[in-house]
Amino acid sequence: MNSWSPEALVQKSQEARDLAYCPYSKFRVGAAVLTSDGTVFTGCNVENASYPLALCAERTAISKAVSEGHRSFKAIAIASDLEDRVISPCGACRQFMREFGSQWDVYLSKSDGSYKLMTVEELLPCSFGPDDLRKGISSAGNSKL
């Protein structure tokens, strides 16, 4: 991971967690995504009084990276205040991560900094991604479905 260790990436996700805006759930989440060139972008969850408009930490971090021109990722670390188990991304975040590949690392951490390593593919097996759309379009631009 270039000069970034998994522990350092988890630490950055914990720092992002501390910035979470979660007045309703009180469930703080932070994420730190490592791009292929070694840049790290962080994000936290941002809740909204209209609950469906809330943003997850993972999507916030990835969106920040994409908005700065990054499309290739090596790893993401996710942190919360859970002590007895690792934090796991929601289904929407798993699909969002999958958009950028299935073979990058995901560090699911506990509040003490310990973590479990998985890949996007392990979190979202048999996934649907960009390549599936390319296969489903005919030369005329119509779906083969």
Catalytic entry in 15, 58, 99, 121: 58
Cα separation, 5 vs 2, whole angstroms:
8
- Which tens digit of pLDDT belongs to each residue from 131-144? 999 876 655 544 44
- Give a yes or no: residue 1 inside a domain: no
The answer to whether 62 and 92 have CB atoms below 8 angstroms apart is no
* Structural domain contains residue 142: no
Q: What is the pTM of this model?
A: 0.90
What per-residue confidence (pLDDT) applies to 123? Answer: 98
Q: Is residue 71 left, alpha or beta, with left meaning phi > 0 and alpha meaning psi from -120 to 50?
A: alpha
Give the chain's domain count: 1
CATH number of 99's domain: 3.40.140.10
Range of the domain at 76: 6-135
| List of the chain residues with pLDDT < 50 | 1, 141-145
Specify burial of residue 92 (Cβ count, 10 A radius: 0-12, 13-18, 19+).
exposed
Determine, yes or no, domain membership for 116.
yes
Is residue 124 in a domain?
Answer: yes
Is 83 annotated as catalytic?
A: no
Cβ distance 102 to 122 under 8 Å?
A: no
Say which residues have a Cβ less than 8 Å from residue 92's Cβ, sequence separation at least 6. Answer: 56, 59
Q: pLDDT digit string (tens) for 42-60? A: 999 999 999 999 999 999 9
